Structure 1
């Protein structure tokens, strides 16, 4: 007997392999950001995040103390000190006095610098440079060394970002923008989708065609005209520009065509028998909408909420146009953009800020995904 299509072992294995590949591709960058956000700045610069659990070795350069710090002992002049700070945790493995040979001498070796001058650098970073004549100059000698850094993690990056970089305030600003900009389109689009799917009125087909046409209008083309229109209407009614109301309306306008199209396609596919039975029992359109359509439409409502929330949360262009750039209204994406411009080398700040930014979208996605799947399973069983 022939095996049913799609039921073979190779077919199931291929599907599982493809799913696993997508999961890995999505998880690895997020894991890298998380690990990097918990590492020290020197470790991020020295090695990749995948080496966070191993001891890494990298080359560094430093300067010894100057001649003004020398002391005389037993007829020789000594300069002592330590290349590491207190509680550094690093271990020096080799050192050198030339950039071409930065690891020429093992740690603890007494290196001959010529003319009776010697240098000894120990594995804890302490050093002794000895000379039969007094050292001259106010600038210490440059020394190169290889240091091993043990794995260590810190939460200090998050403390710096949340309390010192203004990310905390921007986090609240993003929530202030995103939550209403997600709820308002859903409220409007759900009513519109039901009317376009199950109510008969003149111009219904033209409205549907217009909504479909609006799906292809680029945001960049309509952004400035929309801003001018909002400023004109706001000036007429005395509403100040650059407020949260403006960006709520902007995101609502940009999200409504897709929301209405998506919700109408789903609501139009609901069983006609349920609607007709409700009308026979005397239910009005509003009662049918509230008691029947909304509960059955929860899966598509959850899916659009995910799309809209992620789009608004990650938006930068609309926020820059409709909001001020001061700390009171700056959203997370704008704050990260400023950090990227002023702190391009501070990767510990950038990775921590990036991970703080994706925490809320991840929470929203996974929480709504659970209800989304539950709604699909509940709606997939039809009564007899």
Structure 2
């Protein structure tokens, strides 16, 4: 009894592996969200994991020129604040770029001109000279400051206020929702037929579906576009439009959908199907009233994968929909928004999180069915 109650070491290994996988999936998303909310100056000098602690950075301030000097007790003084309206704490300062931390805050430095300079922790500086300060550009003050954590929504305002973003968001929804629903509807009927209806060539069709799973999209995309254009020209269908991209995503998504749903439906208890047939139910009634409701975990699992794929897709959208302002999907719009601004990390992170927020909502809404759907067919009904 004692030996049976002890947990196998393999159990702890499995738990640790699952925990590691969860962290590997969660940490990048959390880092992306935190970075998208940080101030653009701080995000460029420190990582997201330091977002809750003060950051240290070097800066330079140009003091006012001779026009700002006032005479005090026989000396000529210029006063101001290196933060110029900002916030922070000065820890060290210097008068040249080579020695930006030569003096601690509050100390007095002697400049080559004979004047003295001091910078307090709050950023207040004083430049004092026994002689009138000559005309010219003001003295440069190099300093190291400690800046408290700063969070802002300006990054999202800049991304969301981009021209055409709302239209592109609607375009992505118009592409993703039908491209998820259509293959599910078709695959559900096909999966039921392959699982419970006996007809010649069924095994061959199942093998064909499995073979289509490995067909690369990039290899078949252009031939599919040419075929669609040839058929569309005969019926007056525009080569650029939502119909083409719906059909393309349906074609590429059907093999996985049929395979996943067929395995799940084949694992349903055989007695339920036979009892319904004895009661006189047709195959359509069995499919709609019994099989389809019981197959919801598999349907939800495929819906997650298909929606994520179609929402994040750019290649198929550019080929079948186009790159015009009215046809551009969200991923394409954000690529244009970034353009040559690849060094603007605050825009990159905010734009990236805008693209994943809808898939995250879909995933967390359906994730409880994901494991059950992926294990389709692993356990047969009694």
TM-score, normalized by the shorter chain, greater than 0.5: yes
Partner of 2:98, secondary structure, is coil
Q: Structure 2: how far apart are the matches of 1:249 and 1:304?
A: 17
Q: State the TM-score, normalized to the length of structure 1.
A: 0.89
Q: What does residue 122 of structure 1 align with?
A: 120
Q: Quick one: which of 343, 350, 361 aligns to 1:363?
A: 361
Question: Relative to structure 1, is the Cα distance of residues 304 and 382 closer, same or farther in structure 2, using a 3 angstrom cutoff?
Answer: closer
Q: What does residue 262 of structure 2 align with?
A: 264
Question: Relative to structure 1, is the Cα distance of residues 383 and 70 closer, same or farther in structure 2, using a 3 angstrom cutoff?
Answer: closer
Q: What does residue 216 of structure 2 align with?
A: 218
Shift of 1:288: 0.9
Q: Quick one: which of 285, 288, 301 aligns to 1:287?
A: 285
Aligned CA RMSD, in angstroms, stands at 2.8
The number of equivalent residue pairs is: 379
Q: Structure 2: how far apart are the matches of 1:154 and 1:259?
A: 42
Q: What does residue 35 of structure 2 align with?
A: 36
Shift of 1:376: 10
Q: What does residue 299 of structure 2 align with?
A: 301
Shift of 1:62: 3.1
Name stretches of at least 5 consecutive residues in structure 1 with no aligned partner.
Answer: none
Q: What does residue 45 of structure 1 align with?
A: 44
Partner of 1:60, secondary structure, is strand
Query: Is the counterpart of residue 245 in structure 1 residue 214 in structure 2?
Result: no
Partner of 2:156, secondary structure, is helix
Q: State the TM-score, normalized to the length of structure 2.
A: 0.89
Q: Structure 1: how far apart are the matches of 2:374 and 2:314?
A: 33
Q: Quick one: which of 195, 203, 206 aligns to 2:204?
A: 206
Query: Is the counterpart of residue 192 in structure 1 residue 190 in structure 2?
Result: yes
Q: Structure 1: how far apart are the matches of 2:186 and 2:138?
A: 71
Asked if 2 retains the 8 angstrom alpha-carbon contact of 1:170 and 1:329, the reply is yes
Q: Structure 2: how far apart are the matches of 1:148 and 1:45?
A: 15
Asked if 2 retains the 8 angstrom alpha-carbon contact of 1:70 and 1:77, the reply is no
Q: Quick one: which of 337, 349, 352 aligns to 1:351?
A: 349
Q: What does residue 105 of structure 2 align with?
A: 107
Q: Structure 2: how far apart are the matches of 1:140 and 1:129?
A: 10
Shift of 1:227: 1.4
Q: Structure 2: how far apart are the matches of 1:7 and 1:363?
A: 39
Per-residue CA deviation, residues 132-189 of structure 1 (Å, 9 max, x unaligned), is 244243x444332101111222223222222236544433322221111111100011
Question: Relative to structure 1, is the Cα distance of residues 343 and 191 closer, same or farther in structure 2, using a 3 angstrom cutoff?
Answer: same
**Of 293-302 and 205-214, the range deviating more from structure 2:** 205-214
Q: Structure 2: how far apart are the matches of 1:375 and 1:238?
A: 41
Q: Structure 2: how far apart are the matches of 1:375 and 1:249?
A: 25
Q: Quick one: which of 139, 142, 145 aligns to 2:140?
A: 142
Q: Structure 1: how far apart are the matches of 2:141 and 2:84?
A: 16
Shift of 1:329: 2.6
Per-residue CA deviation, residues 303-359 of structure 1 (Å, 9 max, x unaligned), is 111111111122222122222223333222223333443221221111112122222
Q: Quick one: which of 302, 311, 314 aligns to 2:312?
A: 314
Q: Structure 1: how far apart are the matches of 2:312 and 2:381?
A: 41
Q: Structure 2: how far apart are the matches of 1:328 and 1:7?
A: 63
**Of 116-125 and 31-40, the range deviating more from structure 2:** 116-125
Question: Relative to structure 1, is the Cα distance of residues 7 and 233 closer, same or farther in structure 2, using a 3 angstrom cutoff?
Answer: farther
Q: Structure 2: how far apart are the matches of 1:223 and 1:342?
A: 29
Q: Structure 1: how far apart are the matches of 2:176 and 2:328?
A: 13
